Amino acid sequence: MAGLTLLAAAGPWDGPGDKVRVAPGIFVLPGVQADTSAANLDAIANTGFIARTRAVAVIDPGGSHARGMRLQQAIAATTPLPVRHLILTHVHPDHAMGAAAFADLQPEVIGHVRLTEALARRDAFYRAMLMREMGEAAAGSAPLAPARLVEDRLSLDLGGRVPEVVAQPPAHTDHDLLLFDQATGTPWLSDLLFVARIPVLDAAAMRRALRKFGLRLVADRPWTFEPGARRTSRAGAP
Ligand SMILES: [Zn+2]
């Protein structure tokens, strides 16, 4: 995929001022390679935004209210355009719990058609978990309910050539969205791609998938997965 920039779930983070411009109008605040803590504000996932000629869309507000505020500051330092859309690529807390920081801006919150149910199932659990892991630094952290649900694809009118939000079949979760910006040839893959990091797997979805093959997930054993392709070696080779 030469010429494309793949925006994945990993990368160093040096602070809110250190946004990275990965393509014209597309900025990332990379996450740190660490577990959630008060010190890192649960900034462990890549978050960012896309700004065109009329408006801005946030792509994942981050893992805490404080992280969301830092993203908001980074946007304000980049463009005076209004934040019209906030995309939640999936339910996981490091991507969604910073949404409350944008509530005052009243963006249109966009999620997969199954996100509402996923939030209802996990919201209370994630809030309690964040309080445990971050203490007071988690104050105010919460997702926002999606107002616009994507079943197939959705074009975002930010001015200029429109990026598309595309619903995915079950993968990282059963409700992943990705964004594809045709103007710059940039796919924003969120947690559909991990680099140098062990991906989080949805245990319930994994159990369902394994059950189809008559297999069972054993929680106290490490999982081994066969890659779809591997390098082969000749017998007797060093
Ligand atoms: Zn995730």
Q: How far is the CA of 195 from the centre of ligand 1 (A)?
A: 13
Residue 169 forms part of a structural domain: yes
Gap from CA of 191 to ligand 1 centroid (Å): 5
- Taking the centre of ligand 1 as the mean of its atom positions, its distance from the CA of residue 200, in whole angstroms, is 6
Supply the mean pLDDT for the chain: 83
Exposed, middle or buried by CB within 10 Å (0-12, 13-18, 19+), for 124?
exposed
- The per-residue pLDDT for 34 is 85
Q: How far is CA 205 from CA 48, 52, 221, 225, in A?
A: 27, 36, 18, 16
Per-residue pLDDT, 50: 96
pLDDT attached to residue 229 = 45
Is 9 domain-assigned?
no
Distance 90 CA to ligand 1 centre (A): 7
Report CA(234)–ligand 1 centroid distance (Å): 38
| Residue 207, pLDDT score | 67
Q: Return the pLDDT at 170.
A: 87
Residue-level pLDDT at 119: 96
CA of 164 to the centre of ligand 1 (A): 20
Q: 42 CA distance to ligand 1 centroid (A)? A: 13
What H or E segment, with its residue span, contains residue 95? helix 93-96
Per the domain annotation, does 3 fall within a domain? no
Query: Cα of 214 to ligand 1 centre, how many Å?
Result: 26
Question: What percentage of the chain carries pLDDT values higher than 70?
Answer: 75
CATH code of the domain in which 95 resides:
3.60.15.10
pTM of the model: 0.79
Residue 181 in domain: yes
Summarize pLDDT for 74-122 with one digit per residue, the tens.
999 999 999 999 999 999 999 999 999 999 999 999 999 999 999 999 9
DSSP 186-207: EEE-GGGS-SSSPPP--HHHHH
pLDDT tens, position by position, 120-159: 999 999 999 999 999 999 999 999 999 999 999 999 999 9
| Count of domains forming the chain | 1
- pLDDT tens-digit profile of 186-210? 999 888 877 666 666 666 666 666 6
Which residue has 């319930």 as its token pair? 204
Q: Compute the distance from residue 32 Cα to the ligand 1 centre, in Å.
A: 14
On the question of pLDDT at 11 being above 90, the answer is no
Which structural domain, as residue segments, surrounds residue 110?
20-198
Backbone angles phi, psi at 99, to 5 degrees: -60, -35
List the single range of 2-16, 181-195, 213-227 with lowest mean pLDDT.
2-16
Residue 215 within any structural domain of the chain: no
Query: How far is ligand 1, taken at its centre, from the CA of residue 94, in Å?
Result: 7
- Report the pLDDT value the prediction gives residue 97, as an integer from 0 to 100: 97
Give a yes or no: residue 71 inside a domain.
Answer: yes
Cα–Cα dist 149/136, whole Å:
32
Question: How far, in Å, from the CA of 133 to the mean position of ligand 1?
Answer: 17
Is 222 part of a structural domain of the chain? Answer: no
Q: Are 98 and 65 in contact (CB under 8 A)?
A: yes
Tell me, yes or no, whether 162 lies in a domain: yes
